[in-house]
Amino acid sequence: ALTNGKYKSCLHRAVVKKESERRSLAFFLCPNKEKTVGPPEELLRRDGWRRAYPDFTWAALFDFTQKHYRADTNTLDAFSSWMCPELSPFTKQYTSS
């Protein structure tokens, strides 16, 4: 949503040898729950104002992942379809407001 679908996250996992110790550093993003999530206006302008996803709040996404759909590679598409059920996930295009 932040990049209008241009950049995708990747799945990852750690494989560690039994003989060595593993250390991890976790980073959690915890923005204000009422913060609106959407791509920068400059990116939308370059895309001809065509949006891949609707704007939403972090609270709405968190609620969705806790009550309706656990996070995976399809979460954002499932969330967008849940927010705007009248739009097909295969042909969705949102207009900027």
Report domain extents, the chain: 36-95
Q: Which residue has the higher pLDDT, 2 or 14?
A: 2
* Averaged pLDDT of the chain: 79
- What pLDDT shows up at residue 26? 66
45 is catalytic: no
Going by C-alpha positions, the residue among 96, 67, 93, 70 that lies closest to residue 80 is: 93
Question: Degrees (nearest 5) of the Cα angle 29, 41, 89?
Answer: 70
**Total-model pTM:** 0.62
Give per-residue pLDDT as tens, 44-71.
898 788 888 889 998 999 899 999 887 7
Catalytic residue (one of 22, 45, 51, 70): 22
